[in-house]
Amino acid sequence: MLVMMMVSFIAFSQDKENSPVYTIENNMVKATYFHDNGAVAQTGFYLNGKPHGEWKAYDEQGKKVALGNYDEGQKVGKWFFWKNETLSEVNYEDSRIASVTEWKSANPVVINND
């Protein structure tokens, strides 16, 4: 019984450590989500309860796997997805995929994330 209680407590503690963190910045809610290992999984903003502005996603080792923008819940513009040696550029119009371009590591691309 004691072991069951300890396992429940540890599981509850880990869930709390990995709970999303929300803060207010520039009249928007900044959200940070975490992987089970505690590494950041996603960061981005909400405006009026909808994703808005830049969002970034990371794998469990902290490597960026996605970067894109929302406009009041709609995916807009160019989104970038990294997988192994491939970078995919996905262009969104009206929250729908308009085009996809892929690059392999043999074709280096510089992306300024400022």
H or E segment to which residue 53 belongs: strand 50-58
Q: Quick one: pLDDT at residue 104? A: 86
Reported as a single tens digit per residue, the pLDDT across 67-100 is 999 999 999 999 999 998 899 999 999 889 999 9
The number of distinct structural domains making up the chain is: 1
110 in any annotated domain: no
Q: Is residue 40 part of a domain?
A: yes
Separation between Cα atoms, residue 35 and residue 19, nearest integer Å: 9
Tell me the C-alpha to C-alpha distance, in Å, between residue 52 and each of 1, 61, 111. 47, 25, 21
For the cut 60, the answer to whether the pLDDT of residue 102 exceeds it is: yes
Give the pLDDT confidence of 13-70 residue by residue, as tens digits: 445 678 999 999 999 999 999 999 999 999 999 999 999 999 999 999 999 999 999 9
Cα–Cα distance for residue pair 5/92, rounded to 1 Å: 49
Range of the domain at 17: 2-104
Indicate the SS3 state at residue 111: coil
Asked whether residue 64 is assigned to any structural domain, the reply reads yes
* CATH number for the domain harbouring residue 32: 2.20.110
